[in-house]
Amino acid sequence: MAAAWLVPAPACAQSDWPYNPSLTDPQNTRGFSRSTLAVRGGAPVLTPPRLSVGATGFDALAKKKKVVKRRPGEPRPSPPAPPLLPGPPQQIVGNTIAPQIPTRLRYANIYRPLDAPVRRPPPNWQDAFEPLGLRAATFVAKPAIEVTRGFDTNPSHLPGGQGSWYTVVEPSLQVRSDWTRHSFGFNLRGSYSEYDTQPSLNRPFVDFKSFGRWDVTRDTAINTETRYLLSTDYPGSPNLPADIAKLPIYQTYGGTVGLSHRISRLELLGKVSIDRTAWQDSQLTDGSTSSNQDRDYNQYGFQARASYELTPGFKPFVELAGDRRVHDLAVDRNGFMRDSRALTPRVGSTFELTRLLTGEISVGYLTRQYDDPTLPDLSGLVFDASLIWAMTGLTTVTLIGTSRGEEVVVAGVSGALRRDVAVQVDHAFRRWLIGTLKFGMGFDQYLGDGRNDVRTSIGAAITYKLNREFWLKGEYRYDQLRSNAANVDYDANVFLIGLKLQR
């Protein structure tokens, strides 16, 4: 009898779970306790018996449970923690089941049971005051329109210029695809500025860009881009005649086709592009017009880049870009041949460091040579950057840097090398109240006559988000230009208030 008592009861094999006593043991001879039901895989199962339980279900080792009486006013003890349910990996926090911390999600899917469903990634955090957009088939569109009323103390950007009230209407549309493979989208932005007392400064503006990524294989993709820009020459430009009656309008349109291929951590990219720039005739104060055909040209360009991902989020690169500009007229209004070719080598890196620092920064050297031997080369150091730094959960710093060589029609001047840098700090006092500080500087170097301009802009803005659809904006900006040329310095104060409607 003692030897029989020492023989352990047969253990249940792992393949027997969940165990159903009604099929194999209708009399419950194995002594499973029906009061200890658990949930595994969505079906009730029974806990295995203790070694002391016999065929009759009598527990020889069972001890009398100690009953603890509560005193009057004493709270009830906390219930036991709930069992783990099937599905995504979970952890017990207190007496509730909480999801695991995000840093362990990828390991949870790696070591999950084979029959467990794949854990879906958590949804992206969505600002309660950001527009959701409109869904049309597999595209998401975000339309918006902004109306701004302002006052500029010197909109003509001339010494001693007169102030004027003005109104800006700015519609925009952003469309993105929602595909599992490939990608396509476009941005469309336009505006029209109308001045109350100086209609000669009225300016239209349209900017359209479409971009696509067509995945050929896992590591190879074709990149396409089309663009269209309609704008005017800026007030105070040296290219404008003194008796101008209206700012001349120009259009730039073109496209780019590229191929990218990834070999482990090495990525190779090549692009070719073509663009066309055409100007309208300038209207003069006496009613006549002045031709701008010598400013029309075609540009053929290329770009080659090789980047290597040293660490996740840090990808340095080397790049070589070049172009050839061919004007409609071989000789401009002053007798100079403006056709040219340019070459720009660069080095830089892209960043995506734990979402705290994202963007790209590069530095290079631009050299543009003209067909006319009397025009000096347009050359100099160029700097480009687009960085976003999430300083804190409430403060974001944005750095923008651009460099470009612009065409001019001033006698003896080959071109203008423009460098701009801007810093913007956004701070959220509340989720619906955003304060902004802006600071920017621009350096314009005219090769040929020794003119150098320094542009400065300082501003502050406030954005009040009423809800997802309506935003109120207010802004103050101070602009100035200082130059070594005579009679071009100016100062301007700009006050703006606007309403933005978006979906």
- Position 99 scores a pLDDT of 42
Tell me which residue of 282, 279, 276, 278 sits closest to 301, measured CA to CA. Answer: 276
- Position 90 scores a pLDDT of 42
Query: Residue 128's pLDDT band (boundaries 50, 70, 90)?
Result: confident
Class of domain 137-502: mainly beta
**Parallel, antiparallel or unpaired: strands 378-389 and 203-215:** unpaired
- Position 111 scores a pLDDT of 60
- Residue 221, pLDDT above cutoff 50: yes
Mean pLDDT for the stretch of residues 394-404? 95
44-67, pLDDT tens digit by residue?
444 444 444 454 555 555 555 555
DSSP labels, 239-294: TS-TTEEEPPEEEEEEEEEEEEEEETTEEEEEEEEEEEEEEPPEEETTS-EE--GG
More confident site: 470 or 44? 470
Query: Residue 355's pLDDT band (boundaries 50, 70, 90)?
Result: confident
64-104, pLDDT tens digit by residue?
555 566 677 666 666 555 444 444 444 433 333 344 444 45
Query: Residue 449's pLDDT band (boundaries 50, 70, 90)?
Result: confident
Q: Which two tokens stand for residue 260?
A: 């990218």
- Percent of the residues in the chain that have a pLDDT greater than 90, as a whole number: 64
- Residue 8, pLDDT above cutoff 60: no
User: 10 Å Cβ neighbour count for 14?
Assistant: 6
409-423, pLDDT tens digit by residue?
999 999 999 999 999
- Residue 455, pLDDT above cutoff 80: yes
User: 10 Å Cβ neighbour count for 309?
Assistant: 16
CA distance 179 to 215: 12
- Position 32 scores a pLDDT of 43
How is the chain split into domains, by residue range?
1-69, 137-502
- Residue 359, pLDDT above cutoff 80: yes
Mean pLDDT for the stretch of residues 160-173? 95
C-beta separation of 41 from 18 below 8 A: yes
Tell me which residue of 380, 422, 384, 386 sits closest to 405, measured CA to CA. Answer: 380
285-333, pLDDT tens digit by residue?
888 899 999 999 999 999 999 999 998 889 999 999 999 999 999 999 9
- Residue 282, pLDDT above cutoff 60: yes
